[in-house]
Copies of this chain bind each other. A is one copy, B any other.
Amino acid sequence: MADDLVLTGAMLIGAERVTGTGKPIHGVDPRSGETLEPAYGMAELKDVERAAVLAAEAFDSYRHTTPAERAAFLDTVANNIDAIAETLVPRVIAETGIAEPRVRGELARTTNQLRLFASVVREGSWVGARVDPALPDRTPLPRPDIRQRKVPVGPVAVFGASNFPLAFSVAGGDTASALAAGAPVVVKAHNAHPGTSELVGTAIRCAVAEHGLHQGVFSLIFGDGATIGTALVSDPRIQAVGFTGSRSGGLAIAAAAAARPVPIPVYAEMSSVNPVFVLPAAAAARGAELGKAYVGSLTTGVGQLCTNPGLVFVVDGPGADEFVASAAQAIADSDAGPMLNAGIQSAYVNGVQRLADSPEVTEAASGRANDDIAAVGRTRLFATSGAAFKANPDLREEIFGPASLVIRVDNVEEFEAIIDTMEGQLTATVHAEPDDHATAANLLRTLEPKVGRILFNGWPTGVEVGHAMVHGGPFPATSDSRTTSVGTLAIERFLRPVAYQNVPVELLPAEIDEANSLGIPRRVDGQRP
């Protein structure tokens, strides 16, 4: 890949480097405001179509690769990305302002995630293999031999996210799970990190070539959401969409997908305020400690994480005082950091202003300023009462960035009515001591229908990539609560079941053949594998 480490400003449409003829964009260093080279020309509609056509052409051969072949390919993608770390990491930092340790952590997460999906593909549970053997002597009618397996839905469109330029972008979770499922991928890069996207895209493209796969297995295009993004979602060859970003962006994509002559599933991870409930005994026992840890979570990634704790509910009393005082002190001590780009920074400033102007909301603390940073994000803490929170729906809206609102309620009985007013969330967090457990049990029961993940005595930022993780939740946290965008269950988003009735033995797919030649878990006659 040595030759591929020079950025060209081109899209990767199958094996071809294509320089977009649409109005070019540049990466911008949000710390300095400096424009980064090279220019990236935006796609025209014909480029979208070409990428989709190639993906459709690649589908038949790619979905017929063996699990071992697909796993090896995913491992190579991971290795290729690791191999360019020393070129990639500085470019990520330059395009996003994310601090180096986080970028290196995210890189490890990204390549580990690819390898995890390789292991999932090899293990084979994802196939959902089921065999109901024939019962020729059954009365009144014999039962035929019926077998089921899951197959990929078809080419998948992936939209890169601004805040995880590696883990939720070109080779992020959506791409990894779609490729694992046997689905070709067309990525629309996020315009805020085009160079990062080109580098990672090249790593995938090289892996496609190394494994002799059809060039259409992967393409990378640049373009705006309204035209190029919509065209991609609307292309008849695309069969599913993965997206992580704003609520407005996700809703636009979902609307475009639903308006197609043949609607397709959209997995959009959009908006969450991630409520935190500090119960009385927990506040009393460790109010100060919790306040400090809260700010640690709030300021991670300059607050630009989907699981950022945007609302913290605490019951009035001495523990609550300690919690707020400690949080306010930690906020005051917090340095400003660079936000991902000027657009996000401007939305953050507006959101903070709206919150500051809200009736019965007071500013509890603000972090240090820093005039040396162009797209600066200054930490902000606000406070209000439970009554005011219930009365003002605006306070339930996400502010993307390092701002949070502490809501002091009179008693734990208020929680139920407050939760009733809330939309779906990625996470909800409970801080509880054993004395709080009766309250916590009720709270868990009330929260469960609203969220994808419930945490105790922790903070929601930091999403483990594992088998049990759910990064999802009811609308508008996501557009489809039946799944997750992080963790191994994510592969199921791009699969559908097919049944095979009395198919001759020699024509059966390996996954459901007589010998179980792949050695995968299979449910035979309803018995667990």
- Check: A525 CB closer than 8 A to any chain B CB: yes
**A458 / chain B contacts, CB cutoff of 8 Å:** 144, 501-502
Task: Determine whether the beta carbon of B146 is less than 8 Å from that of A448.
Answer: no
Q: How many copies does the complex hold?
A: 2
The residue among A119, A254, A475, A499 with the most chain B CB atoms within 10 A of its own CB is A499
A167 to chain B, nearest CB (A): 15
Q: Which stretch of A309-317, A343-351, A483-491 is in the interface?
A: A483-491
Q: Which of B143, B254, B445, B489 contacts A263 (CB 8 A)?
A: B254
Residues of B within 8 A of A484 (CB): 497, 499
Return chain B residues, CB-CB under 8 Å to A141: 462
Q: How far is the CB of A397 from chain B (nearest CB, A)?
A: 14
Which residues of the other chain, B, contact A451 by a CB distance below 8 angstroms? Answer: 498
Contact of A146 with B464 in the complex, beta carbons under 8 Å: yes
A503, B470: Cβ atoms closer than 8 Å: no
Q: Which residue from B132, B151, B441, B469 sits with its C-beta under 8 Å from A448?
A: B151
CB of A136, distance to nearest CB on chain B (Å): 13
Stretch at the interface among A24-32, A123-131, A221-229, A323-331: A123-131
A503–B454 CB distance below 8 A: yes
In the complex, what distance in Å separates the CA atom of A474 from the CA atom of B495? 12
B contact residues around A386 at 8 Å (CB): none
Number of residues from A at the complex interface, CB < 8 A: 84
Residues of B within 8 A of A453 (CB): 498-501
Most buried by B among A476, A479, A498: A498
Q: A residues 436-481 with Cβ under 8 Å of B?
A: 437, 440-441, 444-445, 448-449, 451-458, 462, 464, 466-470, 472, 474-476, 479-481
User: A408-449 CB contact bits vs B (8 Å, 1 = yes)?
Assistant: 000000000000000110000000101001001100110011
Q: State in angstroms the CA–CA spacing of A174 and B151 once bound together.
A: 24
Instruction: Bits for A398-414, please: 1 = Cβ < 8 Å to B, else 0.
Output: 00000000000000000
B498, A470: Cβ atoms closer than 8 Å? yes
Q: How far is the CA of A314 from the CA of B472 in the complex (A)?
A: 48
A-B contacts, 22 of them at CB < 8 A, read A60-B445, A119-B526, A130-B468, A132-B469, A141-B462, A143-B466, A144-B455, A153-B482, A254-B263, A262-B476, A265-B480, A444-B503, A444-B507, A453-B499, A453-B501, A454-B498, A456-B501, A469-B499, A481-B496, A521-B528, A528-B529, A529-B529
Closest 3 CB pairs of A and B: A470-B499, A148-B468, A130-B468
